[in-house]
């Protein structure tokens, strides 16, 4: 290959590389411009979310204060709570009646059990017969 041919070939190679370089530069610039605008959009989104987080934090602090106030009020009301039985005893004693206490839960006397209702609610079978035999007098008396 002659020097002129080599020079011509080199010029063509350089021209091809220069065109390829220009294409790559244009592509990079497009990507950079797109990335910069996306970055700005992301920054704006982050700022908006930070504002929303601060608003929610303020609201949460307000709700926490309100909850503390409600708990204090509930505690105050529990301290001043009077049971119905105590209030009834006060009313009864104010009219001259001596109040009596009823058995507490779990301390119910045998007379407090409605044996007829229990007997009638039981399914037919040996258990029902045994229950009737154990409480026959009470069940018959209640049925009359």
pLDDT recorded at residue 105: 58
132: closest CA among 87, 111, 142? 142
116: closest CA among 137, 139, 89? 139
- Same domain? For 125 and 74 the reply is no
Does a structural domain hold residue 5? no
Say what percent of the chain tops pLDDT 70. 90
CA atoms within 13 A of residue 45's CA, in its CB half-sphere: 6
Does a structural domain hold residue 60? yes
- Domain end among 62, 81, 100: 81
Residue 16, Cβ density class (10 Å: 0-12 exposed, 13-18 middle, ≥19 buried): exposed
Does a structural domain hold residue 21? yes
- Same domain? For 68 and 125 the reply is no
Domain count, the chain: 2
- Same domain? For 75 and 122 the reply is no
Does a structural domain hold residue 87? no
**Which residue range forms the structural domain that includes residue 47?**
12-81
Can you give the pTM of this predicted structure? Answer: 0.37
- 3-state secondary structure at position 32: helix
- Same domain? For 119 and 69 the reply is no
- Same domain? For 18 and 75 the reply is yes
pLDDT tens track for 108-125: 555 567 888 888 888 888
Does a structural domain hold residue 91? no
pLDDT tens track for 95-112: 877 766 655 555 555 556
Between CA 118 and CA 134 the distance in angstroms is 12
- Lookup: tokens for 109: 């006397």
Chain-centroid distance of CA 66 in Å reads 18
- Same domain? For 24 and 77 the reply is yes
Residue scoring higher pLDDT (85 or 108): 85
């Amino acid at each position: 290959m002659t020097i002129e041919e080599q020079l011509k070939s080199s010029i063509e190679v350089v021209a091809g590389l220069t065109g390829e370089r220009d294409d790559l530069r244009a592509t990079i610039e497009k990507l950079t411009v797109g990335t910069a605008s996306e970055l700005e959009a992301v920054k704006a989104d982050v700022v908006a979310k930070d504002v929303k987080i601060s608003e929610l934090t303020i609201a949460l602090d307000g709700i926490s204060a309100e909850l503390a106030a409600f708990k204090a009020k509930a505690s105050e009301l529990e301290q001043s709570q009077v049971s119905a039985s105590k209030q009834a005893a006060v009313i009864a004693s104010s009219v001259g009646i001596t109040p009596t206490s009823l058995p507490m839960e779990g301390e119910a006397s045998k007379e407090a059990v409605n044996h007829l209702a229990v007997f009638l609610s039981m399914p037919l079978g040996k258990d029902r017969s045994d229950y009737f035999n154990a409480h026959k007098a009470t069940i018959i008396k209640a049925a009359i």
